[in-house]
A and B are shown apart, each in its own frame.
Chain A
Amino acid sequence: MSGSFTDEQIRRYSRQIILPEVGGKGQKKLLASKVLVLGAGGLGSSAIAYLAAAGVGTLGIVDDDLVEVSNLQRQIIHGGNIGLFKAKSAENFVRSLNSDVDVVTYQERFSAKNAGKIIQDYDFVVDGSDNYPTHYLINDACVLEKKPCSHGSILRYEGYATTTIPQKGPCYRCIFKKPPPPGLIPNCQEAGVFGVLPGIIGNIQASEVLKYILGIGELLAGRLLCFNALDMSFFEAAAEKRMDCAVCGDWPLITKIEQKNYRENNSEECGL
């Protein structure tokens, strides 16, 4: 035994304990942390896998979908689990990868009713959702509950990620004031998605989580990092907090989570 680590933990986490910025102190922070992943789809698959591998102590996983064969082109943690709830399938994956991780599954739709209650138990939220109402719901719940969040989104060959830190810099609504009009952005069943893309963006999100917990490096706060897999290029746009933001501005219109602000629009459903 060294410190409070078992010999297996020392071996399992040796490559990151060796990192000068991590060490045993950082590994203990990771093991004590609680991270919520919203959506166990493409983004969630890679985020969940690497957060579990790194030894995040508690992983909450929210998803009400079942695993379908069409998911497996990019949702890499669900192999052999067609027909199972994705949350349960993800839990099985995590348990086989790293028994240090406590998994809490929510086999329910993330909604205005349960958002605040679920989020409040966690230190960091990963937005792996696949539709605009849920992106806004996650953002507003994180602003109101003062939780940091990594947002990600993908379509075809392109994706982006940004990180929001409560009361510091812009939130998702500051960057994307309103969702695009229905029909402007095709859903992924129409448009398709390059299978590696959610792996790349989801791992950028996982990196943000780990850096936040460890207190190291520069986060994507106030920065929208965009990626194009065809060009194999990244570019970054600076984003600022908006004084007139509906949820984090000086005179917010949204002061509590109400369903009317997150109307479902089936044309945007995508099942990424």
Chain B
Amino acid sequence: MTEELDLRGEVCPYTFVKTKLRLEELDSGQDLTILLDDSAATANVSRSLRSEGHEILDLKALSGEVWQIVVKKNEIDLQ
């Protein structure tokens, strides 16, 4: 089952912080669909997700104002 996180109205860096916190609650291999309303935030979040080792499965504009990222959680243990 795909989890969804609606971050429309949120700004950087909280877009990524909230994405990261939600991912921590998911199991490794689980997907998360993220909705954003800013193209720069969409680029930042997807770049940060990749740099933390997660896999971007899909990234697209749903309309002129809404972007969607689908990410697959990869378990990373830096602690």
Set of chain B residues within 8 Å of A5, measured between Cβ atoms = 21
CB distance from A23 to the nearest CB of B (A): 6
In the complex, A17 Cα to B79 Cα: how many Å?
13
- Would you call A17 and B21 a contact (CB within 8 A)? yes
- Would you call B24 and A3 a contact (CB within 8 A)? yes
- Would you call B21 and A3 a contact (CB within 8 A)? yes
Interface of B is mostly: helix
Number of B interface residues at 8 Å Cβ cutoff, please give it. 15
Is A254 close to B, CB under 8 A?
A: no
Set of chain A residues within 8 Å of B24, measured between Cβ atoms = 3, 23-25
Is B13 close to A, CB under 8 A?
A: yes
- Would you call A20 and B76 a contact (CB within 8 A)? yes
- Would you call B79 and A10 a contact (CB within 8 A)? no
CB distance from A3 to the nearest CB of B (A): 5
Set of chain B residues within 8 Å of A10, measured between Cβ atoms = 14, 17-18, 21
In the complex, A117 Cα to B30 Cα: how many Å?
47
Is A214 close to B, CB under 8 A?
A: yes
Set of chain B residues within 8 Å of A20, measured between Cβ atoms = 52, 76, 78
Set of chain B residues within 8 Å of A3, measured between Cβ atoms = 21-22, 24-25
Residues of A within 8 A of B (CB): 2-3, 5, 10-11, 14-15, 17-18, 20-21, 23-26, 214-216
A-B contact pairs, 6 of them (CB 8 A): A3-B25, A21-B78, A23-B20, A23-B79, A25-B79, A216-B78
